[in-house]
Amino acid sequence: MSENKVKSSENIAMLENRLGISRRSFLQLCAAMAATMGLPPGADAAIAAAVASKKRPSVIWLHFQECTGCTESLLRAEHPTLEKLILDVISLDYHETLFAAAGHQVEAARRLAMKENKGKYLLVVEGAIPTKDKGIYCKIGGQTAIDMLKECAADAGAVVAIGSCSSWGGMPSTGPNPTGSSSAGEVLGKVIPNIPGCPPNPYNFLSTVVHFLTFGKLPEVDHLGRPKFAYSRLIHENCERRAHFDAGRFAMEFGDVGHRKGYCLYKLGCKGPETYANCPAILFGDVGNASWPVGTGHPCIGCTEKGIGFTKPIHALADLKNVTPPLGFPRIVEEQGSGATIASVAVVAGAAGAAVGAAAAMAHNLGKVTVPPPENPGKSEAKKEPERAEP
């Protein structure tokens, strides 16, 4: 075993004691983070070595206009190691919610941490920044949010916006936006890494920080500053209800037969088809299967997506972004599970802007999805659902 591997192994043993978690759980978590970020084989070992080495980057965490849900979701994660790991991986030198100190004392701690870690600290911004009337609607320690953000960003090694509020304005920026809420990137005048979501998934934040710690840089981002590993796919692409969408089986009302059977929530306003995030893939809260909005029976409201979440009405239909064949679907009045007429599918596919070939592909798919309901084998689902209404 090389010297480095021995050192890393010793560090992991120390980390086991520090966090009270098994070596196996820790290595599993590192492997999960590597997989979440789509890193190549071997990256999990590099992550484990970096996290266990205890080179903790100083983190200054700012709070502006928000509900503190980002911090809450991070620290209330069910996974026993997550909170401990975050607080172990970073040196949290300023955080208004978690600090016991207050007033001048805590502002002095922030300035000291910034001075001692000049050019190296990670600045995390939670919450939107009110820009109207010279920013007077949010002041901390006598400073406006605008001034505080600019001061802290000036000497930071990297700046990350956590949550939709700091990423694109989020809930506080909803019309008529009386305080002129803006994103951290807008105030700083540049694209910065954003981890949107209201709240964002704690694993996406942890993975981003661990990437910074392991490789000395933040992960690759898209044109909106979102890490590609987490925001490059539409929710609709990985949704467990997608087969129902493709087959034209929709819940029409909360609590109806379709809703109870787990059918697609598109007709209830699900914004999965126009929202980029990895929610269906990594879930929330570590409480098992289906622990994400759509999994629990609520349509996605598009909380990660500017112009969708808190902007588009909850029950408005999502725009279908893909024009690939599965996006053609039969009218809801067709008999479910017994196939759709080519014409009916073609009409809807045409309206959705899908290719003409969608009709044939959809009809083909429908032939594969007829499953007799277990409680009443032998009967078609269509006969059991007279309450389905014309859309």
Distances in whole angstroms, Cα of residue 109 to Cα of each of 115, 144, 191: 10, 18, 28
- Strands lying side by side in the sheet with 122-126: 91-95, 58-63, 122-126, 158-162, 194-195
Give the contact letters, 177-216, x = binds to ligand SF4 (CB under 6 A), - = no. Answer: ----------------------------------------
Binding range to ligand FSX, per CB under 6 A, among 158-166, 278-286, 352-360, 372-380: 158-166
Q: Tell me: does residue 202 bind ligand F3S (CB under 6 A).
A: no
* C-beta closer to ligand F3S: residue 235 or 327: 235
Q: Tell me: does residue 312 bind ligand SF4 (CB under 6 A).
A: no
Other Cβ atoms closer than 10 A to 102: 10
Q: Which of 29, 30, 230, 270 binds ligand SF4 (CB under 6 A)?
A: 270
* C-beta closer to ligand F3S: residue 267 or 388: 267
* C-beta closer to ligand SF4: residue 197 or 273: 273
- The CB-of-169 to ligand FSX minimum distance in angstroms stands at 9
Phi, psi angles (nearest 5°) of residue 60: -105, 125
Q: Which of 31, 46, 67, 369 binds ligand FSX (CB under 6 A)?
A: 67
269: closest CA among 304, 314, 307, 202?
A: 314
CA distance 148 to 111: 11
DSSP notation for 358-370: HHHHHHHHHTT--
Q: Which of 44, 66, 274, 334 binds ligand FSX (CB under 6 A)?
A: 66
Asked if 268 and 294 touch (Cβ cutoff 8 Å), the reply is: no
Phi, psi angles (nearest 5°) of residue 38: 65, 35
Within residues 221-250, the interface with ligand SF4 by CB under 6 A covers: 235-236, 239, 241-242, 245
Give the contact letters, 6-35, x = binds to ligand SF4 (CB under 6 A), - = no. Answer: ------------------------------
Instruction: Please check if 67 is assigned to a binding site.
Output: yes
- Give the residue nearest to ligand SF4 (CB): 272
Cα-Cα end-to-end distance for the chain: 66
Q: Which of 57, 163, 185, 193 binds ligand FSX (CB under 6 A)?
A: 163
Strand 181-182 to strand 158-162: parallel, antiparallel, or no bridges (unpaired)? unpaired
Other Cβ atoms closer than 10 A to 295: 18
Is the alpha carbon torsion for 329, 334, 336, 338 positive or negative?
A: negative
Q: Tell me: does residue 279 bind ligand F3S (CB under 6 A).
A: yes
- The CB-of-129 to ligand FSX minimum distance in angstroms stands at 11
Partner touching 67 among ligand FSX, ligand SF4, ligand F3S, none, CB below 5 to 8 Å by kind: ligand FSX
Q: Tell me: does residue 295 bind ligand SF4 (CB under 6 A).
A: no
* C-beta closer to ligand F3S: residue 125 or 277: 277
Binding range to ligand F3S, per CB under 6 A, among 54-62, 109-117, 118-126, 299-307: 299-307
Q: Tell me: does residue 252 bind ligand SF4 (CB under 6 A).
A: no
Strand 181-182 to strand 139-140: parallel, antiparallel, or no bridges (unpaired)? unpaired
- Three-state SS for 124? strand
- Residue 165 one-letter amino acid: C
* C-beta closer to ligand F3S: residue 10 or 319: 319
DSSP notation for 190-219: S---EE-SSSPPHHHHHHHHHHHHHHSSPP
Scanning the structure block, which residue is given the tokens 């509900």? 67
CA 245 to chain centre: 22
Binding range to ligand F3S, per CB under 6 A, among 146-154, 172-180, 218-226, 300-308: 300-308
Q: Which residues bind ligand SF4 (CB under 6 A)?
A: 235-236, 239, 241-242, 245, 264-266, 270, 272-273, 294, 300
Q: Which residues bind ligand FSX (CB under 6 A)?
A: 66-70, 126-127, 163-165, 170-171, 198-199
Annotation: binding site for [4Fe-4S] cluster = 67, 70, 165, 198, 236, 239, 264, 270
